[in-house]
Structures are given as structure tokens and as C-alpha cells.
Amino acid sequence: MADLGVPAAPVMRGHRGMPLWPDGTVGSMTHCDGYRAAVLARASQVRAVGIDAEPNEPLPPGVWEVISGPSERARTPLGASGRTVHWDRLLFSAKESVFKTWFPLTRVELDFLEADITFRTSPGTGTEGTFTAELSLTAPDMPRSYEGRWLIDGGFAVTAIVLPVSPSA
């Protein structure tokens, strides 16, 4: 907050635990065992942001089938790759980032199957890249496609989406 010139204030929780950021700002936060992060931006520059971090470990049994659609299961490898990307957990994290971007603007809940994620790996790394989320749900003035970034580092899968303010706004 200090870096943006915003007076320090507690961040209260709204519906579904959504952080209630100070006026004129947007942000997102995430936490899991051993990791926590928050990001804050000026609302004049960023419309919404969603971040998520998860342990880079396999999902519990049965979760993969609940969070992934048929097209995602066809193109997302299960288990860890040679570079230790647990793609199932990364998919979960990406969908959480989509929800954290979408929900504060729409107040409409997204089901896991309403976001279809496609991952791309940055050349030569294997542990970072980008992703696209295509939504089957629509809302006024909201895009149906979201671009994000992902990274595997320090035992964590981290995903982020920044939805900029449109140039016409």
C-alpha cells in the first residue's frame, strides 16, 4: 500500500473471503503452507488481478476429475513431467487465478468446468510459461478469454492474471 501511496489499512474480507481493498485499488492474495503473497495495483491501470500459489504436488485423489473438463484432460498431462511440473495442481492454480480475477468484478461464481485452460511452456525452461483461460460463462463488459503466466519454483506452482483497464475506459 505504501508503494502506491495508499494509507495503511486492514484488508477486510467480503463474500467468499474476497479481500476488500482500499478505494482506488485492486488486488489479490494467496496462501498455502510455506507461501503467502499479495499484489495491489491502481484501479486506474488494472481492472482486476488474480494470483494463486499451490504446493507443486499431485492433487488429492478424485479432485482432477472434478476440476478438469474432457478437453483439458486430453491436453494436460497428469503427474509430474521430467521437470517436475505437477500439471494437475497447476491447472487447479490457474483456475483459482481466473476465479480471483472474475469474481470481484461480476460477483458471479465460476464452476471449475466453466474455465477451459491451455498451457504453453516457455522455450528452454519447462518450469514456466503462459496460459489461456476460455470461459463458457459470460457477463456484461467481461472478456471470455484471459491470459496468464505460470511458474514452478521453490516447490510451488504459482499463477497470475492481470486484466488491464481497456484503452477506451
Question: HSE (CB half, 13 Å, CA atoms) of 55?
Answer: 7
CB 19 within 8 A of CB 11: yes
Q: What is the mean pLDDT of residues 91-109?
A: 95
What phi and psi, each to the nearest 5 degrees, are found at residue 168? -80, -10
Q: What is the mean pLDDT of residues 103-107?
A: 93
Cβ-in-10-Å burial (0-12, 13-18, 19+) of 104 comes to buried
The 3-state secondary structure of 18-47, one letter per residue = CEECCCCEEEEEEEECCEEEEEEEECCCEE
**Which residues are CB-neighbours of 107 under 8 A, at least 6 positions away?**
15
User: Residue 84: what pLDDT?
Assistant: 84
More confident residue, 108 or 80: 108
User: Measuring CA to CA, which residue among 88, 11, 86 is closest to residue 56?
Assistant: 86
pTM of the predicted model as reported, rounded to 2 decimal places: 0.92
Q: Which domains does the chain have, with CATH numbers?
A: 2-164 (3.90.470.20)
User: Residue 169: what pLDDT?
Assistant: 44
- Please report which confidence band the pLDDT of residue 92 belongs to, taking 50, 70 and 90 as the band edges: very high
User: Measuring CA to CA, which residue among 125, 82, 90, 103 is closest to residue 19?
Assistant: 103
User: Measuring CA to CA, which residue among 26, 49, 143 is closest to residue 96?
Assistant: 49
The 10s digit of each residue's pLDDT in 32-53 is 999 999 999 999 999 999 999 9
Place of cell 474432457: 70
Q: Is the pLDDT score of 82 beyond 60?
A: no
Percent of the chain, pLDDT > 70?
Answer: 95
* 30-34, 58-62, 122-126, 160-164: least confident range: 122-126
The 10s digit of each residue's pLDDT in 116-151 is 999 999 888 889 999 999 999 999 999 999 999 999
